[in-house]
Structure 1
Amino acid sequence: MGILGHVFLAERLTAQRVFFAVAGFAGVVLVLSTGFLPGHNTLPAHSAAAESATKAIDFFIAFLSGVLSAVAYFSVRKMKNVPGNTIILSLSLSGILLALLAGIFITPLHIPSDPTVLALLCLSGIPAIFAQYLMTWAFQAAEAGFVSLGQFTGPVFAALLGFVAFGESLSALQWLGAAVTICFGVMMPLFSEQNVQQKIYSLPQGFVSAVKERLRTK
């Protein structure tokens, strides 16, 4: 995202941001390190060669997902004057259409028969929509290279949720990776930007002022 923003939107790409991005990515690698160790792949592998091939495919899929996400959010940044609701609606409709086409031509659609699984599947859309709203607002409001640093927290929170909700164990290396990611991918970039600090400190006052204005208009 930082590279796209720098090339096409003339956004800043400072050495400090590059350092934070590299350090945050290194933390993510540590969090995901268990998945690259032998015997930790969730897919069946009948030989070392098959396991290596599976990991290569997994990495390529994840890499492609990252590239496509960067292109999508870069487009959102370019459309910063378009209302967020319009962008969310277009993304949702496009996703539904692509899912239907994939169900027709690639893999048949399968609706879970277990009511609990079906309910969880439906409820999972709520945080996904909220996340999409927040990311759309963030990329429209700030530089893409700065906002994208916060996306490093995705794997960290996924690992922590697995630890809390499903009892999945985390190694010392993964805990270290989580700390590095939060430190270099979020906290240090956040507080190294003077204008961002001012906005954070003014949030409570701005929130109170907005509430008072809303009550006054009513």
Structure 2
Amino acid sequence: MNRPLSPALAFAVAAAGIGLFSIMDAFMKSLTLALGVYNALIWRTGVSAVFGFGAWAATGRARPTRRAMRLHVIRGAITAAMALLFFWGLARVPMAQAITLSYIAPLAALLLGALFLHERVGARVIGASFAAFAGVLVVLAGESRASLGPEALAGSAAVLASALLYAVNLVVARMQSQAAGPGEIAFFQGMIVTAFLALGAPWLLAVPEAAQWWKILAGGLLATASLFLLGWAYAHGETGYLATTEYTSFVYAATLGFLVFGEHLSPFTLAGAAIIIASCLYAARRRDIAATGPDSAVLMLLPRKRTRR
């Protein structure tokens, strides 16, 4: 899986995966308003598991190794907590504020990638990440909302915690992509997240109305395709490098908001978007991508027994 190829190709595939995730978020926002956070997540991830199984079967359905299964479970648990926190917080703070807080994830991923995966963090990528974050601050400066409600602080804390979990998720995704194929990752991601959420089913589960099922199916398909693309990209590029693609989600969100909802962008938003795009393009010019092995990182995060492939 770790064939040498152009870093720009891995970057482009990761950015496409983020784009599909951004479209999926639009479906999830509608589902969350209609069904609530728990039911929107469990039904969408359940459908994602079905689509993921198809992708896994189409790529050979190889039996997962012990190492891969441990990583699937770890990432599934992280993803379940991360998603619940994010959508819970999103209901209590403005969208721009939630997205801004979530952008700390790529910066944290840079440090985690260097710490656990021994990846080089060059000046170009560090500079581009901080420049992109500065672009987010420009956008936030234009979003002057007076009253956010009494639960805004709790919502912000939830989104911040979700962003930190997402940074860990990015690092685990890099290790996971070294131990399993994209189809396997897509299937087990959906299945394990659904299994964790199912623990609350006796108290929280409700069957959606017929009018919501097309959104659930669309969201599941988009999530599976995104995981497939991101799994492939992270198998061929470093975590800190590919994490900068997360900043493109703002561009996707702004475009979807204009085309679908007729939302007009303020000068602050346009200026911030320009900084983010320029920063990502600057980071994408990096050429000194070294091949790194995940074995030492896996040994650090997982039990020492049965670590062979």
TM-score by structure 1 length?
A: 0.73
Provide the secondary structure at the position in 2 that maps to 1:164. helix
- Checking the alignment, whether the CA contact within 8 Å between 1:5 and 1:144 is kept in structure 2 is yes
Shift in Å, 1:35: 5.3
Q: 2:274 aligns with which of 176, 179, 183?
A: 179
Other-structure match for 1:113: 209
Shift in Å, 1:33: 4.9
The 1:159/1:188 distance shift into structure 2, 3 A limit, reads same
The 1:101/1:28 distance shift into structure 2, 3 A limit, reads farther
- Checking the alignment, whether the CA contact within 8 Å between 1:73 and 1:136 is kept in structure 2 is no
The 1:100/1:24 distance shift into structure 2, 3 A limit, reads same
Q: CA RMSD in A?
A: 2.2
Q: 1:10 aligns with which of 118, 125, 136?
A: 118
Structure 2, unmatched stretches of 5+, are: 1-108, 290-309
Shift in Å, 1:3: 0.6
Provide the secondary structure at the position in 2 that maps to 1:141. coil
The 1:57/1:153 distance shift into structure 2, 3 A limit, reads farther
Q: Is 1:190 aligned to residue 284 of structure 2?
A: yes
Q: Is 1:82 aligned to residue 180 of structure 2?
A: yes
Q: 2:196 aligns with which of 74, 85, 98?
A: 98
Q: Deviations over 1:64-92 (max 9, x none)?
A: 22222222221121231322222222211
Task: Give 1:14-53 correspondences, 5 Å limit.
Answer: 14-33=122-141, 37-39=145-147, 41=148, 45=149, 50=150, 53=151
Identity %: 26
Larger radius of gyration: 1
Other-structure match for 2:162: 65
Give the distance between the partners of 1:7 and 1:84, measured in 2 at CA: 25
TM-score by structure 2 length?
A: 0.53
Shift in Å, 1:121: 2.7
Count of paired positions: 180
The 1:71/1:95 distance shift into structure 2, 3 A limit, reads same
Q: Is 1:129 aligned to residue 224 of structure 2?
A: yes
Structure 1, unmatched stretches of 5+, are: 197-218
